[in-house]
Amino acid sequence: MGYGLGVFLLAIGLILAFAVRDMIEAVDLTVVGYILCLAGILVIALTAIQTNTRRRATTTATTTDAHGRQATTERRTETDPPPPPAI
């Protein structure tokens, strides 16, 4: 699953929705094309969201020196999510 599947579904859906004029009994190919277009857009969007998500963590530390002055440091880390399990 990924961008390739999304583009494939989108292309097939657009072909069915706008280029095919044949009729199949009890099946509206235009509606099937629109459904495939929506499915393709959804797959592309979900792939983009999944690809761009990272785990973010923020660590804050406050230190006090001998004169009573405090210093606060903040550290942000981003890590990639773990890979999906193998099927």
pLDDT in tens, 32-68: 999 999 999 999 999 988 877 666 777 888 888 888 8
Calculate mean pLDDT across residues 63-74: 86
- Average pLDDT score, the chain: 86
Secondary structure of residue 34 in the 3-state scheme: helix
Count the residues in the chain: 87
Other residues' Cβ atoms within 10 Å of the Cβ of residue 54 = 10
Question: Are the CB atoms for 82 and 70 separated by under 8 Å?
Answer: no
For residue 59, with 0-12 CB atoms within 10 Å meaning exposed, 13-18 middle and 19 or more buried, which class applies? exposed
Measure CA of the first residue to CA of the last residue in the chain; give whole Å: 13
